[in-house]
Structure 1
């Protein structure tokens, strides 16, 4: 855990109970599916946890429903570099294990680079409370639909278990969910729920995955900052584009590294555990206090508190283009 400068640790913050949306579903037709040349699968080997003692995590606080499906599974495929383990039932094909491990191993570095980190930086900064903090854990889960493909939690990424039915945009979907995996590991220590508002978490993941972003002149079409939890969000198809617009405004003004430092500071607040609760609008106190403490600025370089960003969102976006 990084020691934080005292100027970043101010006033009351803490742990919040807010819900991160599940992974963004992909709407693809049945005749467009993922393909991968098996000769390019990453090297690795199949192992049984009854031999190694490396059982799938059973700590429910750090898993979601989709990844809990692998609790009790002992078979896993581990990449030769020991970075990725994919657990699942022996009923699933070896090809699916290998394909999942290859995709995760190939994509994690690109995802981390957008957080301005390398693999070893991530290992040093992620929650030490997570099981197997030196590995990326995955679960071939029957609770993940083929079109949705994946769903991320702090301890594991759940992946649909039938490789032949993965959608054509598999890479983009996995990148989106790997972004969530990184977010949760950098912003939570032992909180039982995400500390990030929905708009921020989904907006950052959308930007990292290279998915569509609303144009700044369209900012009045949606109110992204009102979507603090999944329960707050409507069904508007364009909402992810507006989450990305809100997040990108912050990143453009402050840089991607500042956004990663914000996540790390939220984790520090959770680790201290001194400031439980949420503010009146529903955001975790940890996120709000970290937002203010990291000293973000607007597009003109003026200090931007969370309260001001929320209150003046449309005015700020309208003046930014």
Structure 2
């Protein structure tokens, strides 16, 4: 029997949350340590605040910190970064500083404040009042940062961090926020790949394809990373597809869509996938959110998928 779409999603997620495209330069940035946010190092064996242990809410990149008791916590208490004592103090502080400084800006793109995020965050996530980081040797330099439901993993070697650090961290924090808002206890992402990547592209300010080039790619066919080809500009088209929805409906409507998915996942009656591969929770939330097209006409998911190019063609 062929594996279900859900199983394929789980396999893909085990390799990394979304297979993000990261474009890094060969130049590295070295911010002065005086620019790092303040905080202290702790040992979980003393505090009892151990790294998240639920393997299904982690990925290959983020689960490596499960047995690491050392962590750095910012003075605000919002960010913790776990990792091996073999890594430099600078790496801990730099990762914590990036998460602390970027999270509010990312949340603002979702029309949320920190207190809203804490309240709305998935019940399955450990430490709802913290963003958890992990210094992970599994994260290659080519990716640098990778997010999961429970944590955000960083390449642990600060000297290899790219110049585009802030933009990459914002992109991955967008994934972190998405996953925490869109599922209650599902063991895999309920978001189509194109939507997850497209929203993160827009939130991080990554390049987006011009509208007149929409015929160059069919983003909505990429339901999982397995469906996607190797076309490098596909991420620009994911951003184009998502931006169409956000431009017509507003960022807050997109956040409400995510929260409706979490409610449907909590309800438990919308498991599995529809015939085109998307999760039932996503399609039901999309159709129930009252979304409209650029002409302010009701937009169902089925029409968006089937008429995508016609909609984009008439929007400029």
TM-score by length of 2: 0.95
Q: Cα RMSD between the aligned structures?
A: 1.1
Give the structure, 1 or 2, with the largest relative contact order (CA under 8 Å, sep 6 or more): 1
Residue matched to 1:26: 23
What does residue range 200-279 of structure 1 map to in structure 2 within 5 Å?
200-279=195-274
Distance 1:219 1:140 in 2: 38
- Following TM superposition, by how much is the alpha carbon of 1:276 offset from its aligned partner in structure 2, in angstroms? 1.1
Distance 1:239 1:48 in 2: 43
Distance 1:168 1:103 in 2: 13
Distance 1:68 1:98 in 2: 20
**Is residue 40–residue 73 contact of structure 2 (8 Å, CA) maintained in 1?**
yes
C-alpha distance 40-27 of structure 1, shift in aligned 2 (>3 A): closer
**Is residue 16–residue 286 contact of structure 1 (8 Å, CA) maintained in 2?**
no
Distance 2:35 2:24 in 1: 27
1:104 aligns with 2:72: no
- Following TM superposition, by how much is the alpha carbon of 1:164 offset from its aligned partner in structure 2, in angstroms? 1.1
Q: Which residues of structure 1 form unaligned runs of 5+?
A: 1-14
**Is residue 16–residue 283 contact of structure 1 (8 Å, CA) maintained in 2?**
no
What does residue range 84-123 of structure 1 map to in structure 2 within 5 Å?
84-123=79-118
- Following TM superposition, by how much is the alpha carbon of 1:37 offset from its aligned partner in structure 2, in angstroms? 1.7
DSSP-derived class of the 2:191 partner = coil
Residue matched to 2:279: 284
Residue matched to 2:311: 316
TM-score by length of 1: 0.93
Aligned length: 305
**1:216-239 CA-partner distances (Å, limit 9, x unpaired):** 110000000000000000000110
Distance 2:65 2:289 in 1: 38
Distance 1:188 1:291 in 2: 14
DSSP-derived class of the 2:271 partner = coil
**Is residue 147–residue 176 contact of structure 2 (8 Å, CA) maintained in 1?**
yes
**Is residue 24–residue 163 contact of structure 2 (8 Å, CA) maintained in 1?**
no
Q: Which segments of structure 1 move beyond 6 Å, counting only runs of 4 or more?
A: none
